[in-house]
């Protein structure tokens, strides 16, 4: 399905019309604002907004076609190059002895594995931040493949906000802004990719710092549980933080963890192993 360009009195109206034409939802298209338009003065000099909506399926098809297109085999089409002089027998011997065996040479095709949907995650986060009025930001996405075979791969989205006000807005009030962004991105990404893999969104390294704090706390409390022989119950935590505590202590031979409670009151308890 090809891209469409739509004009309307404002950007949101243009996007809505484009989605209706394509019969798609917002998470299934790449949105480009070609012209923000203007309202003019009392309607005089008004200029419509113009947007281009490209289905992600169309972009993926183009990438697949370009990757599958073979390089031209006609030597006549290549620029002429001076013919190299035939090396002497001595030169061939030196080059042969200095070159590494073919089996030890790095493969030119060896690249880091990636989870399909990295670019979609980047687009979703960038689009949401822009619509929130955040102008100075950088979004980086990487695929993470845990060394432990029990854990599934996941995407990690690093967001860097240059404005201190934007950072405070996203991380204040128990990180409601960050948690909301995480939920929306995960929902839209899963709907688009039909995948259950996790998408973790971090802002200015907060989640990394918080994860290390939780790991250190869990280890200290586990040592106390072993010393006293009594369980310790932590304060209520969201699911992602409870998971960090469980993972931090799962290989300890002297303690184990359990979650109990309902909803926002759910807690983790660290118990000694008998």
Question: What is the structure's pLDDT at 9?
Answer: 86
Cβ contact 50:7 at 8 Å: yes
Range of the domain at 188: 118-204
Q: Are residues 8 and 29 in the same domain?
A: yes
Instruction: Determine the Cα angle at 58 with ends 57 and 60, to 5°.
Output: 65
> Can you give the CATH number for the domain in which 139 is found?
3.30.300.20
Same domain, 197 and 168: yes
Q: Is 181 in the same domain as 224? A: no
Query: By three-state DSSP, how is residue 19 classified?
Result: helix
Q: Pick from 148, 183, 204: which residue ends a domain? A: 204
The CATH number assigned to the domain holding 249 equals 3.30.1370.50
155 and 139 share one domain? yes
pTM > 0.85: yes or no: no
In this structure, the answer to whether residues 247 and 194 fall within a common structural domain is no
| pLDDT over threshold 90, residue 110 | no
Q: Reduced to 3 states, what is the DSSP secondary structure of residue 258?
A: strand
For residue 94, the model assigns a pLDDT of 41
Using CB atoms within 10 Å of the CB of residue 205, give its burial: 0 to 12 exposed, 13 to 18 middle, 19+ buried: exposed
In a domain, 103, yes or no: no
What average pLDDT does range 58-82 have in this prediction? Answer: 56
Is residue 188 a part of any domain in this protein?
A: yes
Q: How many domains does the chain have?
A: 3
Q: In what order do the strands lie in the sheet with 137-144?
A: 137-144, 154-161, 198-203
Residue 214 sits in the same domain as residue 260: yes
Of 65, 85, 102, the one marking the end of a domain is 65
For residues 199 and 219, state if they share a domain. no
Do 227 and 266 fall within a single domain?
yes
Residue 190 has pLDDT above 70, yes or no: yes
Convert the pLDDT of each residue in 76-87 to its tens digit.
444 444 444 444
Asked if the structure places residue 75 within a domain, the reply is no
The answer as to whether 93 is a domain residue is: no
Contact (CB, 8 A) for 159 and 138: yes
User: Which of the listed residues 148, 174, 204 is the one where a domain comes to its end?
Assistant: 204
Q: Which of 49-63, 66-80, 120-134, 138-152 has the highest mean pLDDT?
A: 120-134
Residues 189, 265, single domain; the answer is no
């Amino acid at each position: 399905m090809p891209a469409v360009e739509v004009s309307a009195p404002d950007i949101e109206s243009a996007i809505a019309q484009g989605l209706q034409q394509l019969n798609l939802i917002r998470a299934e298209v790449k949105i480009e604002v070609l012209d923000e338009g203007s309202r003019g003065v009392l309607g005089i000099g008004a200029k419509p907004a113009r947007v281009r909506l490209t289905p992600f399926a169309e972009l993926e098809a183009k990438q697949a076609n370009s990757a599958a297109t073979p390089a031209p085999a006609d030597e006549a089409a290549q620029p002429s190059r001076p013919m190299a002089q035939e090396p002497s027998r001595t030169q061939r011997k030196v080059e042969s002895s200095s070159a590494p065996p073919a089996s030890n040479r790095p493969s030119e095709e060896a690249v880091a594995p990636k989870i399909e949907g990295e670019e979609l995650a980047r687009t979703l986060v960038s689009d949401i931040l822009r619509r929130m009025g955040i102008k100075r930001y950088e979004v980086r996405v990487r695929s993470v493949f845990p060394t432990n075979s029990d854990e599934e791969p996941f995407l990690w989205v690093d967001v860097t906000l240059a404005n201190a006000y934007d950072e405070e807005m996203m991380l204040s009030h128990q990180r409601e802004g960050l948690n909301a962004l995480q939920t929306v991105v995960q929902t839209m990404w899963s709907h688009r990719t039909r995948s259950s893999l996790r998408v973790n969104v971090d802002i200015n390294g907060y989640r990394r710092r918080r994860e290390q704090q939780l790991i250190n706390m869990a280890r200290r409390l586990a040592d106390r549980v072993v010393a006293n022989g009594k369980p310790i119950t932590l304060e209520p935590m969201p699911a992602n933080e409870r998971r960090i505590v469980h993972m931090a202590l799962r290989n300890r031979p002297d303690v184990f963890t359990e979650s109990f409670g309902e909803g926002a009151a759910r807690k983790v308890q660290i118990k000694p192993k008998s």
